[in-house]
Amino acid sequence: MVKSVAKLKLKREVIQPSPVEPSGPFTVADVWVDASVYHLDTPFSYVIPGNLSAEIHIGSLVSLPFHGREITGIVIEMRSPDSYSGLKRISKVIGKIPLLTAPLIELIKSAGARYAAHPFDLIRSAIPDRMATIEKDFLYTEPTVDSIQRQIQQQYLQLPPSESRANLIAKKVLSLKGAGGVLVILPDTQEVKNLYAALRAQSINPAVLDSQLSKSEYFKNFLEVRLGQRTVVIGTRSAIFAPVSNLRSIIIYNEGSENLYERRSPGWNARDIALIRREQETLDLYFVGYSPSSEVSRFIDEEWVEFKRSRAKMKVLTYQPTHGEFLPSRALTVIKKALHSGPVLAIVPSKGYAQAIRCAKCRTISRCECGGAHIKSAHNSPITCHHCAKISPQWQCIWCNHIVPSLQSRGIERHSHELGLLLPGTAIHLSSADHRINEIVSSGLIISTPGMAPASLDGYSAVVILEGNKFLDQPDMRAGERVREMYFAHAALAASGSPIILVQDEGHAIATALSTWNPVIAIHRDLEERKSLSLPPYVRIAHLTMESSDITRLRSALIASRDEGRLPSSTKILGPIPSGEKASLILSVDTGEGESLISTVHEFMRRRSASKKDLPSLRIDPYSLSR
């Protein structure tokens, strides 16, 4: 028998090419490296091989050796020192088109200092994933930059009621595009779609940078912007970094929206990035909306931002529930009358059917074995745990064994059920994050959660805010400004002269602000309260979160730093604030010493990283301290 012989494997050795000596005008590049290590946030110097000198530019992505492995870096500066001995060489260039420009590199430097962040934490938001199949269709030529000295302006443009905000913003873009590039930042995809349609109607073809696009389409649009092929850009929050050629104006709609705050660390927000960019690139900055955030309100109060008010009067009717009913009979009469004229919009606080369950006998809040709250998602659905989704088909109170639940906190489904009983024969449509109506409506009752209301052909014949006290009583420092913007934005959907119906306690300042279409008085009072309580925007905040077992030692270290003068003496250290297995510390300081606080925290994080200790999660000036 012939013995089988194992197949031979061909071994090969990769021969490293001989290094090419540097040539050309620049021999060394300073590079930010993506090493995924917090304290390695300073530039490293690398030799530019002669064979790559024509391909490497400021903003180029490169591959380079770093601690025995190949990692990605981005070139931020090129120079020709007298000596480059001891420096390693760049291995290769990733792509022929540099994705960052020099102004954007300066922006990332400044934003990194403001948010105590590694540059690549910002670069990941600033540039999209590279697609080689898309890039090969583009030829790299640097756009011509116009250098013009001019006066810049910053304004808050209050939108009027009963007009399409997309059309109004499109008209503003049309008036600005002749002076140079225009960048428009919007809080969500639907607003981007609406503005895109409005701009196309004005014969403007904008580049769209929206996370809902496919990777290839996003990268294609990004390259067209980078190479100066399109100079009107619209998009969601990451588009604030867009490399628009000859950029002259930035417009941000609803700058106080939580959607404009980055979810990932370091938690930057589009408004503050726009403020840095305005200063560095000499840009006009326009905030557009119905009611400004507390930060912009302070700018208005200090006359740094000009408030351009829209003068209008609204018919506001407030109906206070007297016996616990969700819709007083007087309000129902007005709604029935309005339904004869056109569609009516009702805004409700939450989705689902019932967001909480109580025992009808002992009034105990019902919870699952896991600790999650029990909810009811629809009229015919069983009681379910909001956390683990466990179904309770035969619900029973764990305290008194009563079997009759009491439904609490109406959701949109329950409102639909109860309004259907009050308005028989009326077509009712629901619009929420789970099922958003994107078509223009012309009749019936539209029940919507905040921000999900569809447009009406000629405006709504009435806009109703149901359970207004739930909106007004939110335990959150942003609640006042969020509610003002929400009330105004939905009231603006009403047709001219149509009533705005508020089902809430009488005497609230929001009713007066709506009727005069002027939030300034309420804003001024809000700012005075914030200043007296040392709350943002009059203080800077650093919010640190880590394991509860480590937070006490961290607090002691920070107190020692303050006592030794390394932290500003006015620094307040609040906490620890427990949250599950983790806990938080809140550091606050007057805005005048904010940079000193952030710089010290940044250095503290660097040293902790260098000593290989666990890093706390850090957020600078977060949207909220309680959410």
Mean pLDDT by 10 residues, the chain (627 residues): 63 64 83 92 93 92 92 94 85 94 96 94 94 92 77 93 95 94 96 96 96 94 95 97 96 96 91 96 96 95 94 94 85 95 93 79 83 78 83 84 78 86 92 89 94 92 93 87 95 96 92 94 92 93 89 88 88 88 91 92 90 90 84
Decide: 498 and 338 in contact? Cβ < 8 Å. yes
| Residue tagged 């949109």 (tokens) | 412
> 86 by DSSP, 3-state: which?
coil
Contact predicate 74/31, CB 8 Å:
yes
- Sorted by sequence, the CB contacts under 8 Å of residue 9 that are 6+ apart come out as none
Dist CA 71 CA 73 (whole Å): 7
Please state, in angstroms and rounded to a whole number, the distance separating the CA atoms of residues 63 and 125: 20
Tell me which residue of 307, 198, 167, 172 sits closest to 250, measured CA to CA: 172
Query: Could you tell me the two tokens for 590?
Result: 């007057």
Is 581 exposed, middle or buried (CB count within 10 Å of its CB: 0-12, 13-18, 19+)? Answer: exposed
Cis, peptide link before residue 266, omega less than 30° from 0: yes
Nearest to 579 by CA among 536, 620, 627, 614: 627
Find the DSSP H helices in 154-293. 165-176, 189-201, 215-226, 270-281
Can you tell me the distance from the alpha carbon of 545 to that of 470, in angstroms, rounded to the nearest whole number? 29
Distance CA(399)–CA(364), nearest Å, equals 8
- Number of residues in the chain: 627
How many degrees, rounded to 5, is the angle at CA 189 between CA 183 and CA 192?
A: 40
Q: What is the side-by-side strand order in the sheet with 617-620?
A: 572-579, 582-590, 539-547, 617-620
Tally the C-alpha atoms within 13 A of residue 201's C-alpha that lie toward its C-beta.
Answer: 12
Instruction: Report which of 478, 488, 490, 493 is spatially closest to residue 516, judged by C-alpha positions.
Output: 488
Which amino acid belongs to residue 476?
D
Q: What is the per-residue pLDDT for 494? A: 96
DSSP bridge pairs for 502: 318, 465
Q: For residue 481, give the H/E element and its range.
A: helix 479-491
Specify which residues 359 forms β-bridges with: 405
Q: Is 346 helix (H, G, I), strand (E, B) or coil?
A: strand
Strand 445-448 vs strand 582-590: parallel, antiparallel, or unpaired?
Answer: unpaired
> What is the C-alpha to C-alpha distance for residues 301 and 294, in angstroms, rounded to an integer?
10
CA–CA separation, 67 and 168 (whole Å): 54
pTM of the predicted structure, to 2 decimals: 0.90
For the chain, helix, strand, coil in percent to 5 are 30, 25, 45
CA distance 235 to 209: 5
In this predicted structure, what is the pLDDT of residue 68?
Answer: 86
> Residue 539: in which H helix or E strand, if any?
strand 539-547
Backbone dihedral angles phi then psi of residue 23, each to the nearest 5 degrees = -150, 170
370 touches 323 (CB < 8 A): no
Place of tokens 């699952």: 368
Across 479-490, b (16+ Cβ under 10 Å) vs e yields ebbbbbbbbbbb
Q: State the pLDDT at residue 422.
A: 92
Coil, strand or helix at 608: helix
pLDDT score for 14:
57
In order of their start, the domains of the chain are 23-94 (no CATH), 154-290 (3.40.50.300), 315-530 (3.40.50), 539-620 (3.30.70)
Q: Report the DSSP beta bridge partners of residue 77.
A: 30
- pLDDT at residue 18 in the model: 65
